[in-house]
Amino acid sequence: MRLCDRPIHLLPRDTFSQPWPFRLRSWLATSAGHVTAGFSLGAWLLWATTGSATAFAESTRVQPPRIFHQTLAQAQTNPQTAEGQIALGLQYIQEGRLSEAIAAFQRATQLDPQEVAAHYNLGLALRQQGQLQQAANAFYQAIQVDPSFAVAYANLGAALLEGSNFQRAEEYLQRAIQLDPSLGLAHYNLGLVQQYRGQRDAAIASFQQAIALSPNAPEPSYHLGQIYLQQNLLDNAATAFQQAIAINPNYPEAQYSLGTILYQRNDMTGALEAFRQSAEANTNYPNAYYGAGLVFLQQAQYTDAQQVFFYARDLFRAQGNEAWATRSEQLRQQAIAGLSNN
């Protein structure tokens, strides 16, 4: 899950840093694909066994332990049971067949409405497909079956958060924390709710708790940095962004945000490198090219500036952000005028 970042319009400065030989082709040479800054704990899957269910944390591309493969093979011999359908659904997840997985989990809930793993995995799959209301319904059914299932409360809260139902999201996330105070996912999502609602001090505390509980997750540090940036606490913000990048160097939003701070500090070389890293992490992230254009304008490298603003404009436009597409075009024209005056 991530906030929708907006470019920061940085005002020009009177001093220039030394030009750095950099061309648009350098930005396009490395493509790491589109990176989604999702909190990995949100991808928990449940495996159902007769009379019990156990959870294991995995990434979105689930890699079950060896014992799971044995149980999976056993369950698939009887696919007309809830356990068999859950096994089938997990196999579909492995193969990237999300719609088929959802259908299998739905059949599992019909075969055994009291099987918490069926409802929970259905919620995860629906949420991944962007069906937030249906995902929330599935997570709600999971906690009806097992009212002590903390991670289901946390994911229900996350689905409600993505649907902008902040009040109910906070209620379920607080309940998740009551049930399991060590659940970093719940603290992180609660911090997001508080951040959206402008409760900065509470959000800072929640993100710090998430960092302590889930030190391998970069997102809490990133969002903590965003709050510090809003408070103009640039040193604190830079430290938080650097922590997020240390965990995940291919984090385009964190690299971009660090670049904006370096720009404001007049560290043009550092800012340009951060924007370059941001673009390499996600070649379709327009903010990175926009930030680089600002640096090139400062360095009077007008050819480079007009090229990256052109690319930023088209990306913003393709993503439906016409306001920033217009701003990019205005700055591109400014760069073209600079070329004409030289």
Q: pLDDT of 75-111, one tens digit each?
A: 556 778 999 999 999 999 989 999 999 999 999 999 9
pLDDT in tens, 144-189: 999 999 999 999 999 999 889 999 999 999 999 999 999 999 999 9
Number of Cβ within a 10 Å radius of residue 103? 17
- In angstroms, the Cα distances linking 150 to 1, 133, 333 are 19, 19, 54
* Topology adopted by domain 24-253: 1.25.40
How is domain 254-342 classified at the CATH fold level?
1.25.40
Per-residue pLDDT reduced to its tens digit, 222-264: 999 999 999 999 999 999 999 999 999 999 999 999 999 999 9
- Whether the pLDDT of residue 191 is over 70: the answer is yes
Task: Give the pLDDT of residue 100.
Answer: 95
Name the pairing type of β-strands 52-56 and 45-49: antiparallel
- Cβ of 182: how many Cβ atoms within 10 Å? 12
| Predicted local confidence at residue 74, as pLDDT | 52
Say if residue 112's pLDDT is above 90: yes
Question: Which range, of 8-17, 115-124, 230-239, 303-312, averages the lowest pLDDT?
Answer: 8-17
66 vs 222, more confident: 222
pTM: predicted TM-score of the whole model, two decimal places:
0.76
Quick one: pLDDT at residue 72?
55
Percent of the chain with pLDDT over 70: 77
The DSSP bridge partners found for residue 53 are 48
Average pLDDT, the chain: 81
Please say if the pLDDT value at position 114 is more than 50.
Answer: yes
Least confident of 63-67, 72-76, 132-136: 63-67
Residue 34 pLDDT exceeds 50: no
Cite the residue boundaries of each domain of the chain with CATH code 1.25.40.10. 24-253, 254-342
Q: Are 268 and 297 in contact (CB under 8 A)?
A: no
Per the listing, tokens 């007049």 go with 266
Torsions phi, psi of 248, nearest 5? -135, 95
* 291 has a pLDDT exceeding 60: yes
